[in-house]
Amino acid sequence: MKKLGALVLLLLVFASCGAAEIAQATETATTTATAIETTSTTTETTTTAMTTTTATTTATITTTSTATTAKPPDNAGSAYAWDYPGIAPAVAAVPKDPYLIYVSRDYALPANYSPSLRVCVEDYPEKIQMEATAAKQYKAMYDAAKAAGAELIPYSGYRSVERQKGNFDRLIQTNVNRGHSYAQAVNLAAQVILPPGCSEHSAGLAMDITRPGYWDTRVDFETTKEFTWLVAHAHEYGFILRYPKDKFVLTQITYEPWHWRYVGVGPATEMKKSGQCLEEYLGVG
Ligand SMILES: [Zn+2]
């Protein structure tokens, strides 16, 4: 009887070991999504820490990666040559007028690109930054709009390359979860979020703008008085609507009424008059 009891006990131990192994296997299977979340959280923390520093802080775009995603991309040699299928950007040239730098899924920022940053509007708890001149111009635009009854809330300005990578990888994972192949998932993601190193946000020259009552970037921002004001006046401060509705073929990015790019007053005014997007104005894309 004692022997039988021991055998039962032994069987129970084996059974529970099996369950533990299965549980572990299941956990391994879900590691990808968890890892991406973890990366994102870490990056968020870093960014927050950075943005709460003083207005004159100079930040450097670092190129190291702490990626923990199961899929590629690892940094494959050059700073932004992440190994995403179908994404192989050349290094963007920095033009004489640095505010006309062209970055897209085909052109990545140079590895050592490090804009001097400045908080755009101090009135909000989250201290959103842009490149120093762009930030000053944003503040001037913000004040003018506010005087006209429109509140251009800074939602997302400068983003580190690491943060951009977290956003991009998360969207790829979402697309994979929806049943797309990895290559398809990357291609679809790149129509909505630019790959790391390829975003104007990492150059400090773009601002995603929102308004009171909105907690995110939304396409129906185009129906607001803030958007109407921007369309009429943003060029006076050097900003352009970077991804217009009818220019997808050229920009390769879907319509983003919230994303405004600083190019300087002269070029912005010329583009406003001609109706050209940045690709047309620069003769690229
Ligand atoms: Zn944006």
* Beta-carbon neighbours within 5 Å of ion ligand 1: 208, 259
CA of 207 to the centre of ligand 1 (A): 6
Q: What is the DSSP string of 210-222?
A: E-TT--S--GGGG
pLDDT at 149: 98
Of how many residues is the chain composed? 285
Looking at residue 35, what is its pLDDT?
33
pLDDT for the residue 69: 38
Non-local CB neighbours of 165 within 8 Å, separated by 6+ positions: 43, 65, 67, 82, 195, 196
Give the active site residues.
256
Residue 7 has pLDDT above 50, yes or no: no
Instruction: Report how far ligand 1's centroid is from the alpha carbon of 258 (Å).
Output: 7
| pLDDT at site 82 | 67
pLDDT band at 105 (very low <50, low <70, confident <90, very high): confident
Span from the CA of 201 to the centroid of ligand 1 (angstroms): 6
Is pLDDT of 51 > 70?
A: no
Per residue in 25-37, pLDDT (tens digit) is: 333 333 333 333 3
Q: Which of 2-6, 24-28, 74-78, 208-212 has the highest mean pLDDT?
A: 208-212
pTM: 0.70
CA distance 39 to 67: 7
| DSSP β-bridge partners for residue 91 | 108
Spatial separation of the C-alpha atoms in residues 159 and 154, rounded to whole Å: 13
Answer yes or no: is pLDDT of 247 > 90: yes
- How much distance in Å is there from the Cα of 190 to the middle of ligand 1? 13
Q: 20-34, 132-146, 253-267: lowest mean pLDDT where?
A: 20-34
Q: Ligand 1 centroid to 158 CA: how many Å?
A: 9
CA–centroid distance, 206 to ligand 1, in Å, is 6
**Contacts by 166-172, CB closer than 8 A, 24 or more apart:** 166/36, 166/39, 166/40, 166/43, 166/44, 167/40, 167/193, 168/193, 168/194, 168/195, 168/196, 169/36, 169/39, 169/67, 169/69, 169/71, 169/73, 170/36, 170/37, 170/40, 172/71
Give the lowest-confidence range in 65-69, 90-94, 180-184, 276-280. Answer: 65-69
